[in-house]
């Protein structure tokens, strides 16, 4: 049987024994264990390395899995593993079995492989400890604490509910818009045909490039950078409804971090001259910096107004190196362009922003990053979730095709 990324069931092809004792041999303890290991899909075991296809700008996560074998988590577990690998994670991932058997196997991370080896040689967990824990679950105090916890979560949810009018972010697509978006993503035509050209930035998006906005697609540089240009134009067009923001493209951070020591201000010094921008960064409320972590899109924000540095990751991770580098950058930038000194030591750093929505699959990180920028550039709360991503993908196609962000 062919395998696709190790997610098909792999049964050993052996002839049945001639003595007709297949049934007895199957239920022999050693044979039974061997049969189960053969029958279990390999997705329950250490995950494969990052596929070569991930290097493509329009990599389709859905096509990485064979038909019908997409995990229930939408590839989130596999994607987390790729992100960990790309960030040089050095932990040991092992498959563990629970009481229900291999079908409910889970993955856990062991930071110290030596400790894991020692634990594996210790005696099994006594049965009475499991029984004691089960008995403790009926304790009334634990039930009261559970009720209190739920109450606190409800209060927190109420506090997080938006007090702004967010209707402009969720305008339904018309039937005509739906048809045009569908024809763009799935219609016939040469994949190299240029669908839109943004003259000011000279960014062009072909049919092949825009197809990254299909479900399961990984967003590419062209689509992200063009949408950022549209957000910039929206801010100029509607200044009363937007903050004064600067949107760096996806190449800025790569260029800034390309030096021998991981930092090179000279390489980006000419990106922000007053002649090019018509303003200086010190005049902005927020500065948005897309960060590509090999296979994962994140967002860094230099909040000049609030004097904070923020890092938003739709997987809930952080990278202090990014904020340290941007802190150094903004000090040099303001000194160079405005001849002013900034005391960055008094600024607040938010390496993990607890209010940002998180993705629940392995392919929507780029869309989450764009919507972080979209909402925060308007000064509103991040009041969206995974359930809105399909709509946001279609809406982004519509806005790109008409070269105007709503």
Secondary element (H or E) of residue 93: strand 92-98
Q: Measuring CA to CA, which residue among 341, 259, 327 is closest to residue 287?
A: 327
**What was the pLDDT predicted at 96?**
39
Find out whether 218 and 188 touch, Cβ atoms under 8 Å. no
pLDDT confidence bin for 226, thresholds 50/70/90: very high
Q: What is the mean pLDDT of the chain?
A: 80
pLDDT at 26 over 80: no
pLDDT confidence bin for 8, thresholds 50/70/90: very low
Helix, strand or coil, per DSSP, at residue 241: helix
Alpha carbon 18 to its chain's center: 54
pTM greater than 0.85: no
pLDDT at 370 over 80: yes
**What was the pLDDT predicted at 32?**
45
pLDDT confidence bin for 74, thresholds 50/70/90: confident
Q: Measuring CA to CA, which residue among 365, 384, 377 is closest to residue 312?
A: 365
Which residues have a Cβ under 8 Å from the Cβ of 53 and sit 6 or more positions away? Answer: 59, 63, 64
d(CA 56, CA 65): 16
Spot the catalytic one: 81, 84, 221, 313: 313
pLDDT tens by residue, 95-128: 333 443 433 334 444 445 455 545 544 556 666 6
Spot the catalytic one: 296, 298, 364, 374: 296
Question: What CATH fold (topology level) applies to the domain 166-402?
Answer: Adenoviral Proteinase; Chain (3.40.395)
Buried b or exposed e, range 357-368, using 16+ CB within 10 angstroms: bebebbbbbbbb
pLDDT at 365 over 90: yes
Find out whether 231 and 373 touch, Cβ atoms under 8 Å. yes
Catalytic residue at 365? yes
pLDDT tens by residue, 235-264: 999 999 999 999 999 999 999 998 777 899
The DSSP bridge pattern shows strands 308-312 and 286-292 to be unpaired
pLDDT at 2 over 60: no
The mean pLDDT of 1-5, rounded to a whole number, is: 47
- Write out the two tokens for 279: 């303003």
**What was the pLDDT predicted at 232?**
97
Catalytic residue at 246? no
**What sections of 65-139 are H helices per DSSP?**
76-86, 113-121, 127-136
Tokens 């229900």 correspond to 100
Catalytic residue at 99? no
d(CA 159, CA 383): 12
DSSP calls for 155-217: HHHHHHS--S--GGGSPPPPHHHHHHHHHHHHS-S-TT-EEEEETTTTEEEEHHHHGGGSTTB
The mean pLDDT of 155-176, rounded to a whole number, is: 78
- Lowest-confidence range among 83-87, 171-175, 212-216? 83-87
Count of other CB atoms within 10 angstroms of residue 386 = 17
Find out whether 191 and 361 touch, Cβ atoms under 8 Å. no
Spot the catalytic one: 221, 364, 365, 374: 365
The mean pLDDT of 364-378, rounded to a whole number, is: 97
């Amino acid at each position: 049987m062919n395998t696709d990324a190790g997610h098909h069931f792999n049964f050993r092809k052996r002839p049945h024994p001639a003595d007709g004792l297949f049934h007895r041999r199957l239920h022999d303890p050693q044979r039974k264990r061997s049969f189960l290991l053969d029958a279990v899909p390999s997705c329950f075991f250490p995950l494969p390395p990052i596929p070569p296809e991930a290097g493509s700008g329009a990599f389709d996560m859905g096509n990485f899995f064979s038909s019908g074998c997409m995990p229930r988590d939408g590839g989130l577990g596999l994607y987390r593993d790729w992100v960990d690998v790309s960030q040089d994670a050095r932990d040991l991932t092992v498959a563990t079995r629970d009481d229900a058997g291999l079908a409910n196997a889970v993955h856990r991370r062991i930071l110290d492989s030596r400790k894991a080896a020692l634990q594996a040689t210790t005696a099994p967990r006594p049965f009475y400890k499991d029984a004691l824990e089960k008995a403790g679950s009926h304790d009334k105090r634990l039930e009261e604490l559970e009720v209190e916890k739920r109450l606190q979560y409800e209060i927190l949810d109420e506090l997080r509910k938006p007090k702004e009018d967010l209707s402009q972010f969720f305008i339904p697509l018309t039937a005509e818009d739906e048809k045009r978006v569908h024809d763009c993503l799935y219609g016939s035509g040469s994949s190299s045909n240029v669908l839109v050209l943004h003259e000011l930035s000279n960014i062009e998006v072909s049919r092949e490039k825009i197809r990254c906005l299909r479900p399961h697609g990984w967003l590419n540089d062209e689509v992200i950078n063009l949408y950022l240009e549209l957000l910039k134009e929206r801010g100029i067009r509607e200044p009363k409804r937007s903050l004064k923001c600067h949107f760096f493209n996806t190449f800025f951070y790569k260029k800034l971090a390309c030096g021998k020591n991981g930092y090179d201000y000279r390489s980006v010094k000419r990106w922000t001259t007053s002649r090019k921008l018509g303003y200086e960064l010190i005049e902005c409320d927020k500065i948005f910096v897309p960060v590509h972590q090999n296979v994962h899109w994140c967002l860094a924000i230099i909040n000049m107004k609030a004097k904070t540095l923020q890092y938003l990751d739709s997987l809930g991770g952080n990278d202090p190196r990014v904020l340290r580098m941007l802190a150094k950058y903004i000090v040099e930038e303001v000194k160079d362009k405005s001849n002013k000194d900034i005391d960055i030591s008094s600024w607040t750093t938010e390496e993990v922003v607890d209010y940002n929505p998180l993705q629940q699959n392995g392919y929507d990180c780029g869309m989450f990053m764009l919507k972080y920028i979209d909402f925060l550039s308007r000064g509103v709360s991040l009041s969206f979730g995974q359930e809105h991503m399909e709509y946001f993908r279609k809406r982004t196609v519509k806005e790109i095709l008409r070269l105007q962000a709503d």
